[in-house]
């Protein structure tokens, strides 16, 4: 034992030294992933005994978007200017009740059919379908209770480089007069590249028509901070679809060249608006319609330097200059929204396409998948 004891002491000392170097032998706890994105979910109210949630997405640059599962509404979109000052650049309301009672479609998902259908009527395979006439003699933006008035099922997600909300809804057969049970999924994603991506997917069990779009009113000065007439607009379209007195396309695809409709090179929205009866509320026939996503429009606000680019795979875009705003819409922070205080760029198929054989078809049949993407990307320019 005399010889063994010093040997044991040596081993014990070695063990103490080893533990001092390596720490204890308990397994290390996994460190939580650190995201540059942020996500918050809060209760915003109730509609028809269903909870309405507000999802707040924030990226590493301080860009923030707030989305409701009621109507898929984008209620706030905070982006920096060239000095780093962050402003909310979309029109909207402070309360859920204001969104429920009013119908300018501020920030909404629009469907089943975005834009107008003449006389609220269309035919598929020789069968005629009748829709609500909620815009004079015509059907507009999905009817009396379109997708802007629905409480969607919602699921949020967050990744290191992006965060978002997935909205789903089953639109039953004959809802607002449209045929077919329509399963819809819409995904909003905010990225660290200051992109707000909107992915639309849908399937039906009967032939139907479908034209989904997003209806934010933008003002790159900040909502309620004056009109948008000095914003410089560029739309990559050689043609547009002229309309009649009820804003229904005549069927003609007309060249923009030499007219107030020409935004192929950047021009102030207000520069020629007086030449357009009622203001801009027209569908542009986008160039390079090959089904691929591409840059289709760009807007710059000269004072703040804020810019917005629009990318889509759709054949058309509706440019609306806020002509029907009249100051009666009291928006966030008590700000009245007057005429031309916001503009819309709604990516879409053409208005009234079901009644024009020469327009790209909007018919969706069983076994087919409706899938399209639009991206609004924000930046600054000197």
Query: If pLDDT is split at 50, 70 and 90, which confidence band does 35 have?
Result: low
Q: Which pLDDT does position 182 carry in this prediction?
A: 98
Return the pLDDT at 297: 98
Token pair listed for 367 = 């076994």
Q: Which residues contact 84 (CB under 8 A, 6 or more apart)?
A: none
Q: pLDDT at position 142, please?
A: 96
pLDDT tens for 259-291 read 999 999 999 999 999 999 999 999 999 999 888
CA separation (Å) from 339 to 123, 329, 351, 380?
A: 36, 10, 23, 26
Q: Do residues 255 and 238 lie in contact, with contact meaning Cβ atoms separated by under 8 Å?
A: yes
pLDDT at position 36: 84
pLDDT at 102: 74
Average pLDDT over the chain, rounded to an integer: 92
Both tokens of residue 58? Answer: 């924030």
pLDDT at 33 over 60: no
**pLDDT over 50 (residue 234):** yes
Confidence at 28, pLDDT banded by 50, 70, 90: very low
Give the residue-averaged pLDDT of 16-33. 43
- The candidate with the shortest Cα–Cα distance to 193, out of 96, 81, 63, is 63
Q: Is the pLDDT of residue 252 over 80?
A: yes
Q: Is 323 left (phi over 0), alpha (psi -120 to 50) or beta?
A: alpha
CB atoms within 10 A of CB 188: 23
* Local confidence band at 193 (pLDDT 50, 70, 90 cut-offs): very high
Residue 305: left (phi > 0), alpha (psi -120 to 50), or beta? left
The two three-digit tokens of residue 330, written as one number: 């009291």
Residue 52 φ then ψ, to 5°: -105, 125
For the segment 335-340, the average pLDDT, to the nearest whole number, is 97
Give the closest residue to 107 by CA, choosing from 218, 224, 273: 218
pLDDT of residue 29: 46
**Does the pLDDT value for residue 216 go beyond 80?**
yes
Q: Could you tell me if 343 and 269 are in contact, meaning their C-beta atoms sit under 8 angstroms apart?
A: yes
In SS3 terms, the chain reads as: CCCHHHHHHHHHHHHHHHHHHHCCCCCCCCCCCCCCCEEEEEEEEEECCEEEEEEEEECCCCCEEEEECECCCEEEEEEECCCCCEEECECCCCCHHHHHHCCCCCCEEECCECCEEHHHEEEECCEEEECCCCECCEEECCCCCCHHHCECEEEEEECCCEEEEEEEEEECCCHHHCCCCEEEEEEEEEECCCEEEEEEEEEECCCEECECEEECCECCCCCCCCCCCCCEEEECEEEEECECCCCCECCCCEECCCCCCCCCCCEECCCCHHHCCCCCEEEEEECCCCCCCEEEEEEECCCCCEEEEEEECCCEEEEECCCCCCCCEECHHHCEECCCCCEEEEEECCCCHHHCCCCCCCEECCCCCEEEEEEEEEEECC
Q: Given the residues 139, 215, 282, 356, select the one marked as catalytic.
A: 215
The stretch 349-365 carries a mean pLDDT of: 97
Does the annotation count 203 as an active-site position? no
Residues of the chain with pLDDT > 70, as a percent, come to: 91
pTM recorded for the entire structure:
0.90
Catalytic residue among 175, 346, 349, 356: 346
Is residue 92's pLDDT more than 80? yes
Is 100 a residue whose pLDDT tops 50? yes
pLDDT at 336 (0 to 100): 97
Tell me what pLDDT residue 283 has.
Answer: 98
How confident is the model over 127-149, as a mean pLDDT?
96
**Rounded to an integer, what distance in angstroms lies between the CA atom of residue 31 and that of residue 283?**
51
Residue 155 has pLDDT above 90, yes or no: yes
pLDDT, position 32: 44
pLDDT exceeds 50 at position 114: yes
The predicted pLDDT at position 103 comes to: 72
- Judge whether 248 and 118 are in contact, CB under 8 Å: yes
Residue 215 known to be catalytic: yes
Is beta strand 254-255 parallel, antiparallel or unpaired with respect to 237-241? antiparallel
Predicted confidence (pLDDT) at residue 3 exceeds the cutoff of 90: no
Q: Does residue 12 carry a pLDDT above 80?
A: no
Q: What is the pLDDT of residues 160-175, one digit of tens each?
A: 999 999 999 999 999 9
Q: What is the pLDDT of residue 24?
A: 43
The yes/no answer on whether domain 38-380 falls in CATH 2.70.98.10 is: yes
């Amino acid at each position: 034992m005399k010889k063994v004891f010093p040997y044991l002491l040596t081993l014990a000392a070695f063990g103490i030294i080893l533990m001092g170097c390596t720490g204890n032998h308990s397994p290390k706890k996994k460190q939580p992933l650190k995201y540059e994105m942020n996500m918050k979910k809060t209760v915003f109210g109730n509609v028809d005994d269903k909870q309405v949630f507000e999802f707040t997405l924030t990226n590493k640059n301080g860009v923030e978007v707030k989305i409701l599962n009621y109507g898929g509404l984008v209620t706030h979109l905070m982006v920096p200017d060239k000095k780093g000052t962050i402003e909310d650049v979309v029109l909207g309301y402070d309360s859920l009740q204001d969104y429920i009672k009013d119908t300018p479609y501020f920030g909404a998902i629009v469907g089943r059919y975005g834009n107008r259908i003449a006389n609220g009527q269309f035919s598929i395979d020789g069968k005629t379908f009748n829709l609500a006439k909620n815009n004079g003699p015509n059907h507009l933006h999905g009817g009396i209770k379109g997708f802007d008035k629905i409480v969607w099922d919602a699921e949020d997600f967050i990744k290191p480089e992006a965060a978002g909300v997935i909205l789903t809804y089953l639109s039953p057969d004959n809802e607002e007069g449209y045929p077919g049970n329509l399963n819809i999924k819409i995904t909003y994603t905010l990225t660290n590249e200051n992109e707000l991506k909107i992915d639309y997917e849908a399937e039906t069990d009967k032939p139907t028509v479908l034209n989904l779009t997003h209806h934010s009113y933008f003002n790159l000065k900040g909502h309620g901070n004056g009109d948008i007439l000095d914003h410089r607009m560029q739309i990559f379209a050689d043609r547009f679809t002229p309309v009649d007195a009820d804003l229904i396309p005549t069927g003609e695809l007309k060249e923009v060249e030499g007219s107030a409709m020409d935004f192929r090179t950047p021009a102030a929205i207000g520069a020629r608006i007086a030449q357009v009866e009622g203001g801009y509320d027209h569908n542009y026939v986008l160039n390079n319609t090959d089904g691929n996503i591409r840059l289709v429009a760009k807007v710059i606000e000269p004072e703040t330097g804020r810019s917005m680019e629009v990318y889509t795979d759709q054949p058309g875009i509706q440019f609306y200059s806020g002509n029907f705003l009249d100051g009666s819409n009291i928006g966030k922070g008590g700000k009245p929204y007057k005429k031309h205080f916001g503009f819309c760029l709604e990516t879409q198929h053409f208005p009234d396409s079901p009644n024009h054989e020469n327009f790209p078809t909007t018919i969706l049949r069983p076994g087919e998948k409706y899938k399209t993407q639009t991206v609004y990307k924000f930046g600054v320019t000197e």
